[in-house]
Structure 1
């Protein structure tokens, strides 16, 4: 048996993976939860289970039609198989077809600074027979996905599909072909169009961009398909090298380019086709065709024979100046200027006709703010299998529909650095982390722009009235670690590769939201004269205003927590790069992020239920997760096995063996120094309650959940910063 069924004589059983006898208080707490009338099927206890508030930390509880506000968090959903994903090869593919590939492909993603980059990704089937919503955008596109899938908002924050409102601004993805066939991408941070092959190059997928003295660096498309920007199709060349290459192609085919061949070709086609060409050129379509073809030929001529071109146009300005002035002052010229000023242009976002180029610019600026907007979100009455991408570094990807969405679950990052690069630098790294990332009750003295731009602040006034005075504090704390068991760690895996790992949440604002809603739940239970074995198990019933308010605030707090971790990880990574790479940015080899202490609506055993994971991690099949040990012990990167009896869950760490107060009474400073040998960390009484001896053996915990997860990487920390 992978688990033990506890003998508690409760209506719903309790399944335990702890492999040890629970104490009296722990047993009573498990029994209290299993007695709740809305508990679904059974309660699952993870290997790290220990005393908590109301429910055991390390418990997974599925409920129907009610929820206990004991955790804050959010899950990540997925898309139907027909959803189109644009790749850098210039084509768009169904996400279900991408899931059948056995190799990586390259998509477009968006950074924290709203810059579009190219990134490697994989796709997979994530859920069968999932509930769906249909999101309609202002460009007429629709996106069908699970209600919980996150869309990227215009400021880079995320919101679930089911919580999107009409007029909500989303991060846009605009692409088009220029007259030469090159793919152009509009950068959200600037509004400027950038060639996709340079986006691929600047994303580091072609290696270091070379420079050529006195020449431009050119990116050559090997197959001459200008829209195919796969790295294997791109090659750096100098401008002269590129021109010489194209001339060599002409020379290789010189028979077909020779004057003799051209004369014969013209003689053969002139009688029959010259009249046809003339007629075609007189039509709007024909005029456009020949104008574009002529432009391409001229540009090739300018590139291949630059010196001859310079001589040919040397006096163009002088020759044309007098003519241009005379034309502009003529009746015909003034009429043309007036016609251009009153010409209507089509908005590629909402398809509105707007007069003049300036009018179109202002229309996009004020009406769309260079984004897409949500028109409506509708619940669909059918279910489908759904899919998602994994984008290890950026955790988002563009849809053909023109917006960015979050990818499936990803906290820890595997860097390209190795152990030997850390030699002699551990203390300096720790001191820099402590100087730049506030810990404990501390907060940022200066609030950075990415924090003030977070769109979540616009919704702050809609949160519980009990936290309205905390907006300034919440803003100052974003990008800070907090206290307790929160940490920032530099780790090494078994191959001496450097990992960065952090654990933090929604800071004081998340705690205060929880406390306010717990108080409300307790008041409601008291008014309804409902007797509970523990008042901390007070709950909200689905369909009530109180449930809706709690669910809204729950999502906001988890979005805050996610962005808080993102801000910290950017700083953390920058500090390590400063010491190991001279400040040069690097690309993670793998990124993993997982939530614990959260509740979400999921399907288990064929039923829609609310799953609360209190101190537990989701571990569906192929889900990546982090299971950290204590400071001085091992940590693990894992992949889920999708164990149904655990509600697809696993532990979130080793779990406490004793309370903080008991740890301070049982251990000394000498014990702390001994147990954290080899780890660059604080070694004072302020972190004595986090001593490794206060936690369970992480090796035993991992052994007890072998049926829940498989180990992908084993980590040992060398730097630890505690809250």
Structure 2
């Protein structure tokens, strides 16, 4: 851990290096009057919108939509199957069938899906306006860095991973309440203009609405992953004969929660970070061509009991697509079954930090339990 004294409160970082834009955003956080104790930057930190991805902010009485982000509840399922051996042909068939049967990218289901949570939707305008379309989106992957994968575990078992979030729900909720916070900021002057860190008093009508809308988006994101996993596992089981999921972990990494730290109740924002309570299991993915890790939290209070949510980008999606070629990507994915019909190189392994270094840099936050090596990847 490195300690940086660049603002009103300290910045504590587990990153080997921090890009200039991310550091500037971290300094903005450290200068907020309501920021509590210190700002924590995880080993995968890189610049985001308003707040760096891989950042943890504890605040007193204020909640910031952009410190959660637009994909509220984005997260990962990691599941240990009863399968020990899998052939290349089986992997290829699973990837092919998943591309045909599971909606990827901007695709939705042709028919609406049911979910008990739809009956409990808050009566807020932004939630109600999205309910109809969300019935067609639950159990869909989305694009960007969202994926489903088949992994070989260091424990000898085949694991499955699913990475997705709240789809359009989280996006609409984040933007809706960020606009409200921005408008209110003209009067209450909570934050400096142009920081994109507009906040809401959590006990205000607007703050309570955002918090409840965010929690509902978390539930939807979790249900979305569960439905995705159900479809993915069914295809996997048809090919491999698998009959049992031996262990399943479902964690999200874009959210805010009310927690106690250093003897005070605060609002903890984790944007691209997962909770790492002592003994709590989590998932830290590398990239589509590099290992991932099942980890156990160590409950380190210095990071507000958090750890990285992945390897972290070193190149933006736009930069990656400019620099990388199909040949470079294919070479980096050698031996791993994947399809790239859209010629999108933004998620190439070279666009990410070294996962081994990222894990090493946070050995006081988590303990690696199982190393997962990719065999096949389905991407939106």
In the superposition, the TM-score normalised over structure 1's length comes to 0.51
Distance 1:411 1:471, change over 3 A: same
Instruction: Please state how far the C-alpha of 1:65 moved relative to its aligned partner.
Output: 0.7
Over alpha carbons, which structure has the higher Rg?
Answer: 1
Map of 1:269 onto structure 2? none
Instruction: Please state how far the C-alpha of 1:493 moved relative to its aligned partner.
Output: 1.1
Note if 1:673 corresponds to 2:330. Answer: yes
Instruction: Spell out, residue by residue over 1:228-280, the C-alpha distance to the aligned partner (whole angstroms, 9 max, x if none).
Output: xxxxxxxxxxxxxxxxxxxxxxxxxxxxxxxxxxxxxxxxxxxxxxxxxxxxx
Further displaced range: 42-51 or 592-601: 592-601
Q: Is the 8 A contact 2:253 2:271 kept in 1?
A: yes
Note if 1:637 corresponds to 2:294. Answer: yes
Note if 1:661 corresponds to 2:318. Answer: yes
Q: 2:87 aligns with which of 419, 422, 426?
A: 422
Q: 1:502 aligns with which of 147, 153, 162?
A: 162
**Within 5 A, what are the aligned runs for 1:489-638?**
489-532=149-192, 534-581=194-241, 586-638=243-295
* Distance (Å, rounded) in 2 between the aligned partners of 1:466 and 1:415: 39
User: Which runs of 5 or more structure 2 residues have no equivalent in the other structure?
Assistant: none
Distance 1:46 1:533, change over 3 A: farther
**Within 5 A, what are the aligned runs for 1:15-30?**
15-20=12-17, 22-30=18-26
* Distance (Å, rounded) in 2 between the aligned partners of 1:609 and 1:655: 26
Instruction: Please state how far the C-alpha of 1:666 moved relative to its aligned partner.
Output: 1.1
* Distance (Å, rounded) in 2 between the aligned partners of 1:529 and 1:570: 47
* Distance (Å, rounded) in 2 between the aligned partners of 1:461 and 1:614: 24
Map of 2:8 onto structure 1? 11
Q: Is the 8 A contact 1:47 1:704 kept in 2?
A: yes
**Within 5 A, what are the aligned runs for 1:117-136?**
none
Map of 2:309 onto structure 1? 652
Instruction: Spell out, residue by residue over 1:402-446, the C-alpha distance to the aligned partner (whole angstroms, 9 max, x if none).
Output: xxxxxxx99111001023x33421211101111221111100112
Q: 2:36 aligns with which of 18, 40, 48?
A: 40
* Distance (Å, rounded) in 2 between the aligned partners of 1:461 and 1:44: 32
Q: 1:439 aligns with which of 104, 122, 138?
A: 104
Instruction: Please state how far the C-alpha of 1:491 moved relative to its aligned partner.
Output: 0.4
Instruction: Spell out, residue by residue over 1:304-324, the C-alpha distance to the aligned partner (whole angstroms, 9 max, x if none).
Output: xxxxxxxxxxxxxxxxxxxxx
Instruction: Please state how far the C-alpha of 1:68 moved relative to its aligned partner.
Output: 0.7
* Distance (Å, rounded) in 2 between the aligned partners of 1:708 and 1:604: 16
* Distance (Å, rounded) in 2 between the aligned partners of 1:60 and 1:524: 24
Q: Is the 8 A contact 2:191 2:199 kept in 1?
A: no
Map of 1:456 onto structure 2? 117
User: Which runs of 5 or more structure 1 residues have no equivalent in the other structure?
Assistant: 75-408
Note if 1:63 corresponds to 2:63. Answer: no
The RMSD of aligned alpha carbons is 1.8
Q: Is the 8 A contact 2:28 2:195 kept in 1?
A: no
* Distance (Å, rounded) in 2 between the aligned partners of 1:411 and 1:530: 37
1:551 counterpart SS class: helix
Q: Is the 8 A contact 1:687 1:722 kept in 2?
A: no
Instruction: Please state how far the C-alpha of 1:527 moved relative to its aligned partner.
Output: 3.2
Q: Is the 8 A contact 2:314 2:351 kept in 1?
A: yes
Instruction: Please state how far the C-alpha of 1:23 moved relative to its aligned partner.
Output: 3.1
Instruction: Spell out, residue by residue over 1:277-317, the C-alpha distance to the aligned partner (whole angstroms, 9 max, x if none).
Output: xxxxxxxxxxxxxxxxxxxxxxxxxxxxxxxxxxxxxxxxx
In the superposition, the TM-score normalised over structure 2's length comes to 0.95
Map of 2:79 onto structure 1? 413
**Within 5 A, what are the aligned runs for 1:127-526?**
411-419=77-85, 421-447=86-112, 451-452=113-114, 454-460=115-121, 462-463=123-124, 465-466=125-126, 468-526=128-186
Q: Is the 8 A contact 1:60 1:646 kept in 2?
A: yes
- Name the count of aligned residue pairs: 376
Q: Is the 8 A contact 2:191 2:198 kept in 1?
A: no
* Distance (Å, rounded) in 1 between the aligned partners of 2:308 and 2:244: 29
* Distance (Å, rounded) in 2 between the aligned partners of 1:473 and 1:44: 36
Map of 2:48 onto structure 1? 52
**Within 5 A, what are the aligned runs for 1:97-112?**
none
Q: Is the 8 A contact 1:32 1:533 kept in 2?
A: no
Distance 1:590 1:690, change over 3 A: same
Further displaced range: 54-63 or 530-539: 530-539
Instruction: Spell out, residue by residue over 1:180-232, the C-alpha distance to the aligned partner (whole angstroms, 9 max, x if none).
Output: xxxxxxxxxxxxxxxxxxxxxxxxxxxxxxxxxxxxxxxxxxxxxxxxxxxxx
Instruction: Spell out, residue by residue over 1:435-492, the C-alpha distance to the aligned partner (whole angstroms, 9 max, x if none).
Output: 2211111001123xxx32x2332344613x2454332211100000111111000000
* Distance (Å, rounded) in 2 between the aligned partners of 1:410 and 1:441: 19
* Distance (Å, rounded) in 2 between the aligned partners of 1:417 and 1:18: 36
Q: Is the 8 A contact 1:491 1:500 kept in 2?
A: yes
* Distance (Å, rounded) in 2 between the aligned partners of 1:683 and 1:531: 43
